[in-house]
Structure formats: C-alpha cells, structure tokens
Structure 1
Amino acid sequence: MSAALLYPFIIVAGALQALGNSMNAQLRGHLVNPFLAAAVSFLPIVFVFATLFLVMPTPLPSLDSLAAMPWYAPLGGVAGAVAVFGGLAFVDKVGAGPFNGLTLTANILTSLAMDSLGLFGLQGGGFKPMPWLGGLLMAIGVIFIARVTPEKGAGQGAGEDETKDTGHGLNPRLLYPFIVVAGALQAIGVVWNAQLRGALINPWLAALVSFLPVVFVFVLVFLLRPKPLPQRADIEGVRWWMPLAGLTGAVAVFAGLLFVDKVGAGAFNGLLITANLLTSVALDHFGWVGMKRVRAGASRLGGAALMVAGIVLISLF
C-alpha cells in the first residue's frame, strides 16, 4: 500500500487530537485539579483498549519478539506525557503561544532528525535539504499561529502580558530548554510506540501497555497532591463529552502505532501537527467546544499556509 493512502487517516487523527485538547481544557476547568483531570481523561482510554484486547486477543507476541523488544519501547506513552506535564506546569508561566511554538517546533525537527539518522529502528534516509526546508517552514508557521493567544485575541496588550508574567521569581525563558525537551520527547514517544507495536504484534495490547504507565503516574500524583478539589457546582458543569477527551487524543497515538514506520516520523508528525493546528485555528475562530473565540486573522492564516507548504515538502521529498 502506498504511504500516501494513509495520509487521510493521519490527518483525521490530528484533527481529533486538537478536538481532544480543547475538550481537555474544558474538563480541566471544571475538575480544578489538573492531575485529577488528566487521570479522568486517560482512564477511559485504558478501559477501551483493555476491552478491545480482551475481545480481540490475537495475535499475541512470541517470546522471540518480546526478547527483541527495546527496553525503551514501553515508555512511549510516558515520553509523550512529558509534554502534557509541561503544559500543566509551565504554560501559565511562559504563555500558551511560546509553549506551543517551542514544543511543536522541537517535535518537527526531532522527527526529521530521526528520519535522517535512522534512529530507533527507522530507516535512515540521510540528509535531504527539501524536508528540512519543509520543517523550517512548519516551524515558522507554528510561531505565527502560536503568537496569537486567546488573551491577545481578546484585546489584551503586550504590557498586560508582561505584568501577568511578573512575580514568578524566575525568568520564563529559563524554562524554554525544558519545554524543547518535552517537544522532542513527544516526537520520540511516537517512534517508541511504533517499536512497541512491532514487538507486541497486537495493536490493542501495545496501546494498552503504552497508556497504563501514564494513568499510573497521573493517579499517583493526584493521590500525593489531592488539592484543590472541585466543588459540587464544578462537577455539575461537566458535560458528558468532556471525559471523552482522552479517547479522541488516543486516536493519534494509535495511528502512530500503526503508521509511523510506514510513512516516516517526519511525515507522520508533520501531518499530525498540521491537522492539529488547523483544526485548533477553526475551533478558536468559531468558538466551538466552549473555546474562547479568537479570530483567524492574517498571522494565523499565514502560519497555516506555511505549515501546509512545509508538510508538502516533507511528504514529497
């Protein structure tokens, strides 16, 4: 099968990932505690993949495939969750625009590096200038999209943003290296999940093994830091679709399990990120899923055009 035939499925996964992010934001607002919100978001994923594995338990991995599995393969979900934790810990300190810009740019460039060098079992293609040019265009596009935040879109000026950042006792730019590492790990996690899928054979089992450690970590952190807790009025405001946020985002992880070794990390993450950000722009512009409306002006539309041009270069060359 041609790898290009898989692109529509990856694009849908990226769009669902953006939808899941917005739904998670609503869930986080109502459950107050970010670790409780994360646990509630991830638990249905484990339930669904465990059920699917019990219904379709074959094929099962052999002892040889398990013995050949890299030690890091089961940690793909945890590597991806570092970016989630980074959002919880740093987004209010550095701003949503810089945070998303740094993580996604690091994701794109790390994906291209893994494709070029053949890291983690990928087929190395060597240095090709056109995909790297595409990555550069995507990085610039991410910056143009991320620089327009809901606060700025609502009319808040730069002076107010600076005031908002004061009082943390730490220059926000000192956090940038940690955010870059989180974005790189997000890209690496996709490839590790593909390695896990190759070793465990059964995609439902691989997805279950990938998500279980993530749920364990968030539940443990919530038990250690159970406050603040939501009030009754907060819980009553939870809509039926909010706890399903993790499931929509899990489609992207499952797509990575199946497709990243077929299309390459650069093309997969590039398509996923492009679809994610374009859907996010639409969600913000129309105010869907309870999002604060941010008009898709020249900066965002220009950034979207650069991202599309970048993914074309990565996919074709």
Structure 2
Amino acid sequence: MSAALLYPFIIVAGCLQALGNSMNAQLRGKMVNPWLAATVSFLPIVFVFTTLFFTMPTPLPTLDTLGKMPWYAPLGGVAGAVAVFGGLAFIDKVGAGPFNGMTLTANILTSLAMDAFGLFGLQAAGFKPLPWLGGLLMALGVIFIAKTGGKQDGGDEKGLGAKLLYPFIIVAGMLMAVGVVWNAQLRGALENPWLAATVSFVPVVFVFAFIFLLRPTPLPNRQDLAGVRWWMPLAGLTGAVAVFAGLLFVDKVGAGAFNGLLITANLLTSVALDHFGWLGMKQVRAGAPRLIGAAIMVAGIVLISVF
C-alpha cells in the first residue's frame, strides 16, 4: 500500500485529537471531579483495545523482545495522558487554539531535541538548522494565537489567570512527545499493536482511578449527570486514534510526514473550534492574529517535516 493512501487517516486522527481535548473539557464540567472525568474518559479506550486484542491475539511477544524492552516503555500512555488531563482541566480556561498550539509546539521542539541528542534510544541525528527554525516559527505562531486567548474569559484578571497555566501546558506537550517514543518502543517489544495499546492505557486508568478514590469529592449530582451528552465519554477514544495511528503508521510514512500531517490537522481544527464555538467551547473569532499565527505554525511544520 502506498504511504500516501494513509494520509487521509492521519489527517482525521489529528482532527479527532483536537476534538477530544474540547470533548474532555465538556466531560470535566459535567463530571465535576476531574479525576472521575479522566477515569470515565480512559475506560472506553481500555475496553476497546482489550476487546480487539482478544479478537486478534497474535502475534505475541517473545521473551527476547520483552527482555530488550526499556522499563519506561509501558508508561508512554501515562506521559501522554498528562496532556489529555490538561485539556480536560484547562482548555476551557485558555481556549482550544492557545492550548493545542502550546502543546503541539512543546511536542515538536521536544521531538527535535530527542532526535538531535538521541534520547530514549533514538539514533542521534545532530543539529539541523531548518527543522529548528521551523520549531521557532511554531513558537512564534503560538504567540499570535494566544494573544486573543485570554479575552474569551471576559477580563484581564481571568486572562492573567489563564496565562499562569501555560507552564503546565508546555510540560504536558513535552511529555506528549516523550510518550510517543515510549509507545513506539512498547509496540516493538510487544509486537501486537492491540496488546501494546492496551498495556499503554491500563496504567493511565489505574492512576486516575486511584487518585479518584483518594479524592472522591466533589461528585456530580443528578442534574450534572443529566447534562452528559452521549459523545462526552468518547473523548478519550478520539485522542486514542492518534496514539494508535502513531503505533501503526510512523514507520510507513516517516515521522516527519506523520507529525506534520497530524499537527497541522490538530492546529487548524483547534482554531476552528474556537472560531465557531463548537462542542460547547467559548467562541473566540479567528481574527488576523490567530490566522497569521496558524499560517506561521504551518510554515514551521513544513520546515520540520520536509527537512
């Protein structure tokens, strides 16, 4: 199969990833307790991938491949889940455009650093100026997009409060990049992609469920639960499509093309979510700063993907 035939699926995965962040924000509002909301978001993922693994249980890993697996590989899902939880808790405060712009920029800059220095078992590629220039363009694009991010909250004070969340969002984006590498190593060791996806997400559910048991309040009331729409608990699944796409397709289309398509689709979908106020997001019109920022980020992604 031609690699180009996989591009539409990757683009859809990027769009779903952006939608999942906004869906998680709505789920968080109805579930009240963020740990309960995160548990509800990730449970369907484990159910779906476990069912698929039992349906297609082969191939299975060997003792040799398991012995070569790094200890941190099963934690790739946990690293990526930090960004999901950030979206669940913060995206309605900073806006879909600034949130996804910052996480994606931190993601790509961290990926460039891992490639350059050969971190986590990657082959060191050294410093390449054009991809790093692309990363700087992405950061510049985020500045343009985020300039209007605080205005949706209705005041300078709340806008400043939203900006205090930026460091956490940046760290979440960095962990997202690390999680992709760890998941790829997990996929190589376990061989079966459905088993790898299950193992990746089971610790996530365990962590969030455990924290919820430690902090079980507040809880949603009957009115809150009545406001839960059928699509809200599927937020985790939409984001899991991008994770699984990485497990399957990165080696077929190349990391540059995969991340370029995924991130571009995510970014443009995020700006559209804010502009039209879809999925209950507060409406923030895509004026000149946001459109310029999106264009600059796309230019940065092209430099990173091509060179």
TM-score, normalising length: structure 1: 0.86
Alignment-derived partner of residue 209 in structure 1: 199
Deviation at 1:308, TM superposition (A): 1.3
Cα distance per residue 1:135-180 (max 9 Å; x no partner): 111121123223322x5147x3435534x57xxxxx948x83x554
Alpha carbons of structure 1 residues 196 and 245: separation in structure 2 relative to 1, 3 Å: same
> Partners in 1 of 2:158 and 2:54 — Cα distance?
53
Q: Over the residues paired in the alignment, what is the CA RMSD in angstroms?
A: 2.6
Alpha carbons of structure 1 residues 101 and 286: separation in structure 2 relative to 1, 3 Å: closer
> Partners in 1 of 2:253 and 2:132 — Cα distance?
16
Alpha carbons of structure 1 residues 247 and 67: separation in structure 2 relative to 1, 3 Å: same
Q: Secondary structure of the residue that 1:274 maps to in structure 2?
A: helix
Q: Which runs of 5+ in 2 are unaligned?
A: none
Alpha carbons of structure 1 residues 24 and 87: separation in structure 2 relative to 1, 3 Å: closer
Alignment-derived partner of residue 134 in structure 1: 134
Asked if structure 2 preserves the Cα contact closer than 8 Å seen for 1:144 and 1:302, the reply is yes
Deviation at 1:277, TM superposition (A): 1.8
Amino acid at match of 1:189: G
Q: Secondary structure of the residue that 1:209 maps to in structure 2?
A: helix
Alignment-derived partner of residue 73 in structure 1: 73
Deviation at 1:274, TM superposition (A): 2.4
Asked if structure 1 preserves the Cα contact closer than 8 Å seen for 2:152 and 2:282, the reply is no
Alignment-derived partner of residue 158 in structure 1: 156
Aligned pairs for 1:218-297 within 5 A: 218-262=208-252, 265=255, 267-297=257-287
Asked if structure 2 preserves the Cα contact closer than 8 Å seen for 1:112 and 1:266, the reply is no
Alpha carbons of structure 1 residues 238 and 88: separation in structure 2 relative to 1, 3 Å: closer
> Partners in 2 of 1:37 and 1:58 — Cα distance?
33
Alpha carbons of structure 1 residues 249 and 87: separation in structure 2 relative to 1, 3 Å: closer
Cα distance per residue 1:10-39 (max 9 Å; x no partner): 222111011111111111111111111111
Alignment-derived partner of residue 47 in structure 1: 47
Deviation at 1:89, TM superposition (A): 6.8
Deviation at 1:312, TM superposition (A): 1.2
Matched, 1:114 2:104: no
> Partners in 1 of 2:148 and 2:217 — Cα distance?
32
Cα distance per residue 1:85-114 (max 9 Å; x no partner): 45567779x955776554333211111112
Alignment-derived partner of residue 36 in structure 2: 36
Q: Secondary structure of the residue that 1:222 maps to in structure 2?
A: helix
Alignment-derived partner of residue 147 in structure 2: 147
Deviating more after overlay: 73-82 vs 257-266: 257-266
Deviation at 1:232, TM superposition (A): 0.3
> Partners in 1 of 2:156 and 2:133 — Cα distance?
31
Q: Secondary structure of the residue that 2:57 maps to in structure 1?
A: coil
> Partners in 2 of 1:34 and 1:207 — Cα distance?
23
Alignment-derived partner of residue 168 in structure 1: none
> Partners in 2 of 1:83 and 1:69 — Cα distance?
24
Alpha carbons of structure 1 residues 110 and 138: separation in structure 2 relative to 1, 3 Å: same
Deviation at 1:125, TM superposition (A): 2.8
Q: Secondary structure of the residue that 2:76 maps to in structure 1?
A: helix
Amino acid at match of 2:294: A
Alpha carbons of structure 1 residues 287 and 98: separation in structure 2 relative to 1, 3 Å: closer
Cα distance per residue 1:13-70 (max 9 Å; x no partner): 1110111111111111111111111111100000000000000001111111111111
Asked if structure 1 preserves the Cα contact closer than 8 Å seen for 2:38 and 2:88, the reply is no
Asked if structure 2 preserves the Cα contact closer than 8 Å seen for 1:285 and 1:294, the reply is yes
Cα distance per residue 1:166-207 (max 9 Å; x no partner): xxxxx948x83x554332211010111011001100000000
Percent identical residues? 79
Matched, 1:200 2:190: yes
Q: Which runs of 5+ in 1 are unaligned?
A: 166-170
TM-score, normalising length: structure 2: 0.89
Alignment-derived partner of residue 59 in structure 1: 59
